Amino acid sequence: QSVLTQPPSVSAAPGQKVTISCSGSSSNIANNYVSWYQHLPGTAPKLLIYDDNKRPSGIPVRFSGSKSGTSATLGITGLQTGDEADYYCATWDTSLTVVVFGGGTKLTVL
């Protein structure tokens, strides 16, 4: 059971927009920065968003992050088939003194 809760799966058509939610608590999301990762098994994880809403160099503007209270959201616009992957939120948990990941959300581009 993950400390951060994500929907197991989301889907949308190519060109559409999708959002992935990440729900936590006051000991993690509400008071610490959130990151988002894209991962395909057998490959290196890719950082998409850090510090709630910043994109590392090379990440397209189609990817965006936001946060409100104890929840964070990853948005992806202009969906492409290459976006099919698993997506994870992550943050620091001040009470547990560990990094926590969400359980992951599988994105299917129909």
Partner 1 sequence: EVQLVESGGGLVQPGGSLTLSCVASGFTFSNSWMHWVRRAPGKGLVWVSRIRGDGRSINYADSVKGRFTISRDNAKNTVYLQMNSLRDEDTAVYYCGRDIHIAAADSWGPGTLVTVSS
The nearer residue to partner 1, 41 or 82, going by C-beta atoms, is: 41
By CB under 8 A, is residue 92 in contact with partner 1? yes
Residue 35 tokens read as 């990151």
Among 5, 39, 66, 108, which residue sits at the site for partner 1 (rule: CB under 8 A)? 39
Query: E strands within 1-110?
Result: 9-12, 18-23, 34-39, 46-49, 63-68, 71-76, 85-93, 98-101, 105-109
By CB under 8 A, is residue 60 in contact with partner 1? no
C-alpha span between 49 and 65 (Å, rounded): 6
By CB under 8 A, is residue 63 in contact with partner 1? no
C-alpha span between 18 and 54 (Å, rounded): 18
Size of the site for partner 1 (CB under 8 A): 31
For 27, 43, 51, 106, the CA distances from 12, given in Å and listed in that order, are: 32, 23, 26, 11
Stretch that binds partner 1, among 10-18, 61-69, 72-80, 88-96 (CB under 8 A): 88-96
The nearer residue to partner 1, 2 or 70, going by C-beta atoms, is: 2
Q: Which residues are near partner 1 by CB under 8 A?
A: 2, 32-35, 37, 39, 41-47, 50-51, 56, 86, 88, 90-92, 96-104
